[in-house]
Amino acid sequence: MSEILYFDHAASAPRRPEVAEAMAPWQTGIVGNPSGSHKAARLARTAVEESRDAVAEFIGAKPGDVIFTAGGTESCHLAVVGVTHAHRKTHEQTNILISPVEHHAVIAAAEQIADHFADVELRFVDVDADGVVEIDSLWKNVDFNTALVSVMTANNETGVCQPLDAVSAVAKGGVPGGAVTHTDAVAAAPWLDLSVVTSTIDLISICGHKLGGPVNVGALISRGPVALNAVVPGGEQERGKRGGTVDVAAVVGLAAAVRATAADRIETYERVTDFQTRLSNALSLLPGVMVTARGASLLPGHVHVTVDGLASDEMLFMLDQSGVCASAASSCSSGAAVASHVLAAMDVPAVRAKGAIRFTMGAETTAHEVTELIRIFSGVVHQLRGDA
Amino acid sequence: MSGGVDSSVAAGLLIEQGHEVVGATLKLWGGASDSGCCSVADVDDARRVAQILGIDHHVFNYTEEFERSVVTPFVEGHAGATSPNPCIECNRHIKFDLLFQRAERLGFDAVATGHHAQVLEREGHHYLVRGEDNQKDQSYVLGYLQEPILRRLLLPIGAMNKDEVRQHAERLQLRTWDKPDSQDVCFIEASKGRSIFLGQRISLTPATIVDQVTGEELGETAAAELMTVGQRRGVLPGRDGEKRYVARVDLQARRVEVGRLKDVLSTKLKLDVNSLSFARDALANQTRVLAQWSAHGRPMEATLSFDTTWSLELDAPARPVAPGQTVVFYREDEPSIVEGAAIVTS
């Protein structure tokens, strides 16, 4: 592919070469089933456990508390549904509290189980205009039936970070015995040290491909024992929490991705933060363009804007014609841009939400690409406004 | 691009003609669908065709506009005992309006579709003409198009019959895209039908079916909104054994009147003046036209006339036309050329 300006890292980050290299030996020839007992199985099992060690270190958890899954969506699903089922065994009423800006992986899982069982109630905590959860609202919504509080580490559309320590304080302090906390750290994982920012959270979801690793692999990591039922039971893989043969190549790829991410995190963070400042400043000068949640604590890779009176579809089309890959932050299965539930929760007016564009950067982004993006997007806005 | 063979071949032919082509599929309906042009499966089909043809493909979301301009009027029409044609409204408000505006903003010279119809250019003017394939002609659903749109419209398969289109599809190696033509309203699931769709949005009116001939009650209907003037299907014969047709639907009185064919035949269609649209010049009072009021209906000789309001005087009596239906006028001397369209009021 030539002439691509890739500003969609949050959708899927470029595959890191060290990931492909690490996976290669597990992609051809004999790959033992890690649950077996012979030599090939032992080799595979060793690779899986080394990968588990790497993921545990990345999160600051114990290797035995890492459950490999087939991605971020499954990790979130296992957290929400697994905790709910475990709670239902010992309680007559089970309440789940989540934020309205969660990824659909969390929202849809919670809605599905609340629809299915009359004794499960789903509650949404209020967020402010930046999409940050309001702690007062958390306090109001927890009670002694609260099983789970799930708030993402940072939002995948806007990049806005959440006050997880405060969330934990309410979940533990406001519920007798303490509610289980879960955070979807998929979007934050490339940027934040999860061993620090999620240190008070019980369950953490991550996935491979936002880190330059393979798609279809992720992990749900717990900090110590958490009552969690398997959602897909089967063989006793992953300590009975997730049935199915572990994909050796995939978890090796995930491990390579987390190691590489951790190794260059600080350097990348600083460099991309400069790009973010430059991009936000430049785009905010364009007519009708407003940078979303500028005052909030943001992941450095995100620059989310709304453009008054213009349609995301049209801007994306023109960006694409110029080789810029970006997104409207939210798209349905058909590929059409759809109204964002995140912006709706933030009370962004519809006329602005229709013109939402998300640019996301990563370790590979260069200063030249940022300059080019500013030039191209300025042209797009002016042309669509009819003053080109 | 709907993913069907017509728009796929249209795109393929344009590429061969040397045009710089980008495929677009419109996401129109946000709800459940099992037919028509906007389900996820159809978008996937269209995307795959674009991939095979080697062109870019984009999905444009018009679900809000579709709800506002097509679905809501369809529901409200039925609530008022009229039967609007949603395909025509979609063409008029979405495909040949919003999409054209968008194409212009995005810098495109023309928009092409896979409709079976043609654009004729004559002395600097553009006319919509029936498709070459009589069986497939879609000029009726495009009846509202006017010169500014026709000027920028390409209809690459309009001069072909369906067999030729399929031959091109095979030649372009699109032969897997032999989907059956969509026939139904795209936002209504065929498995559930109109009554369930409407029943979820408005309260349907049970009514008594009364024979105009004898005055007797012939039965009941659960939903008078679904009885269309002129309809025979589902209407029981009268006691005399003769067929009956819906003559009048009165929602307030909860009454549907049926009559014999000879009783319900009519020679005059009143037209909604606000809907009256001409392809180019306005037609004068007493212009002779050929009028067609369903997608594949037979064109009928008629005179467009203005009294206190516009109406269409038919040469020969015809089964009544349901209020809300669109009638398209074709030229009497050149019967394939569209001259205008209007909505029937009664």
Residue B28: C-alpha distances to residues A15, B33, B69 (Å):
35, 11, 11
Are both A243 and A314 inside the same structural domain?
Answer: no
d(C-alpha A122, C-alpha A98), whole Å: 8
Same domain, A225 and A296: no
Give the end of a domain, one of A259, A279, A301.
A259
If asked whether residues A200 and A317 sit together in one domain, one would say no
The predicted model scores a pTM of: 0.86
A224 Cα to chain B: minimum distance (Å): 42
Give the separation between CA A128 and CA A293, rounded to whole angstroms.
10
> Which of A317, A348, A312, A318 is CA-nearest to residue A330?
A312
**Counting beta carbons within 10 angstroms of the beta carbon of residue B213, is it exposed (0 to 12), middle (13 to 18) or buried (19 or more)?**
middle
Segment holding A329, helix H or strand E: none
Q: B-chain residues within 8 Å CB-CB of A353? A: none
Q: Among A287-301, B32-46, B70-84, name the one with the lowest average pLDDT.
A: B32-46
Are A32 and A42 spatial neighbours (Cβ–Cβ below 8 Å)? yes
Contacts of A332 in chain B (CB under 8 A): 27, 40, 61
Kind of pairing, strands A356-360 and B266-270? unpaired
Q: What's the angle, vertex CA A274, arms to CA A269 and CA A275, rounded to 5?
A: 95
> Where residue B94 falls among pLDDT bands split at 50, 70, 90?
very high
Instruction: Identify which of B270, B201, B259 has the alpha carbon closest to the alpha carbon of residue B230.
Output: B259
- Domain hosting A211: range is 17-259
Chain A's closest residue to B104, CA to CA, is: A384
Res B232 pLDDT > 90? no
**For the segment A142-159, what is each residue's pLDDT rounded down to a tens digit?**
999 999 999 999 999 999
- The confidence score (pLDDT) of residue B262 equals 87
Per-residue pLDDT at B185: 80
Beta partners for residue B122, in sequence order: B125
**B87 a catalytic residue:** no
Q: Is there a single domain that holds both residue A329 and residue A195?
A: no
Question: Which residues of chain B are within 8 Å of residue A315 when distances are taken between CB atoms?
Answer: none
Cα–Cα distance between A151 and B322 in angstroms, integer? 55
Q: Check if B37 is active-site.
A: no
- Amino acid (one-letter) located at B59: V
| Pairwise CB contact (< 8 Å): B58 & A384 | no
Q: Tell me what pLDDT residue A315 has.
A: 95
User: CB of B144 within 8 A of CB of B275?
Assistant: no
For residues B172-184, average pLDDT:
70
- Considering A259, A289, A317, which residue would you say is the last residue of a domain? A259
Name the burial class of residue A191, with classes exposed (0-12), middle (13-18) and buried (19+) by CB atoms within 10 angstroms of its CB: buried
Q: In the listed set A259, A294, A315, which residue is the last one of a domain according to the structure?
A: A259
Instruction: Note the pLDDT of residue B183.
Output: 63
Count of domains for chain A? 2
Neighbours of A96 (CB within 10 A): 29
Residues A199 and A283 placed together within one structural domain of the fold: no
pLDDT at B235 exceeding the cut of 50: yes
Rounded distance, CA A176 to CA A174, Å?
7
Cα-Cα-Cα-Cα torsion B172, B175, B177, B179, nearest 10 degrees, comes to 130
Residues shown for chain A: 388
For B60, the closest of A332, A336, A386 (CB atoms) is: A336
Residue B189 has pLDDT above 80, yes or no: no
Distance CA B150, CA B321 (A): 28
The pLDDT assigned to A188 comes to 98
Question: Are residues A142 and A287 both part of a single domain?
Answer: no
The β-bridge relationship of strands A289-291 and B266-270 is unpaired
pLDDT band of residue B102 (cuts 50, 70, 90) is very high
Q: Let me know whether A149 and A63 are in one domain.
A: yes
Report d(CA A185, CA A151) in Å as an integer.
9
Say if residue A229 is in the same domain as residue A338. Answer: no
Can you give the pLDDT at residue B229? 85
| Contact (CB<8Å) A317/B106 | yes
**pLDDT tens-digit profile of A15-70?**
999 999 999 999 999 999 999 989 999 999 999 999 999 999 999 999 999 999 99
- In chain A, which residues have pLDDT < 70? 1-2, 329-337, 388
Q: What is the CATH number of the domain that holds A329?
A: 3.90.1150.10
Q: Work out the number of other CB atoms within 10 angstroms of the CB of residue B102.
A: 19
Give yes or no: residues A202 and A329 share one domain. Answer: no
- Asked whether residue A111 falls in the same domain as residue A177, the answer is yes
pLDDT band at B81 (very low <50, low <70, confident <90, very high): confident
Per-residue pLDDT at A1: 44
- Quick one: pLDDT at residue B121? 94
pLDDT, tens digit, 9 for 90 and up, residues A312-337: 999 999 999 999 999 986 666 566 66
Statement to judge: residues A209 and A228 lie in one domain: yes
CATH code of the domain in which A56 resides: 3.40.640.10
| A268 shares a domain with A205 | no
What are the Cα distances from residue A320, in Å, to A194, B49, B106?
Answer: 34, 19, 12
The token pair at A232 is: 């897909």
pLDDT above 70: residue B228: yes
Please report the pLDDT score of residue B32 as a whole number.
65
Among A313, A320, A384, whose Cβ lies nearest the Cβ of B61?
A: A313
Question: Is the model's pLDDT at B336 over the cut of 90?
Answer: yes
- pLDDT score of B48 more than 60: yes
Residue among A314, A336, A384 whose CB faces B27 most closely: A336
Q: For chain B, what's the residue count?
A: 346
